[in-house]
Amino acid sequence: AWLLGALALAAWAFWWPYYQDRKDYRLSHPSVPRETPAGAWVHYENARWRLLEARVVAPTDLAGLQLRPDSQVVLATLEVILDNGTAAENVDSCKSVLRDPAGRQWKAQPLALLRYPQRPLGRSCGSRLGDGLERVNARPGRPFRFQQIYQLPRGVPLAGLQLELSLPRLEREERGAYVRFTL
Confidence at residue 174, expressed as pLDDT on a 0 to 100 scale: 65
- How far apart, in whole angstroms, are the C-alpha atoms of residue 61 and residue 89? 31
Which of these ranges, 76-90, 146-160, 169-183, has the smallest mean pLDDT? 169-183
Of residues 36 and 68, more confidence is placed in 36
Taking a C-beta distance cutoff of 8 angstroms, is the pair 76, 113 a contact? Answer: no
Taking a C-beta distance cutoff of 8 angstroms, is the pair 110, 101 a contact? Answer: no
Alpha-carbon 26 to chain mean position: 15
Alpha-carbon 144 to chain mean position: 15
What mean pLDDT comes out for the span 70-83?
91
Which of these ranges, 30-34, 36-40, 42-46, 50-54, has the smallest mean pLDDT? 30-34
What average pLDDT does the structure give for the chain?
84
pTM listed for this prediction? 0.79
Confidence at residue 42, expressed as pLDDT on a 0 to 100 scale: 95
- Residue 144: exposure state from Cβ atoms within 10 A (0-12, 13-18, ≥19): buried
Name, in order, each residue with C-beta under 8 angstroms of 137's C-beta and a sequence gap of 6 or more: 88, 126, 127
Taking a C-beta distance cutoff of 8 angstroms, is the pair 44, 96 a contact? Answer: no
What mean pLDDT comes out for the span 46-74?
85
Residue type, 89: E
Confidence at residue 124, expressed as pLDDT on a 0 to 100 scale: 79
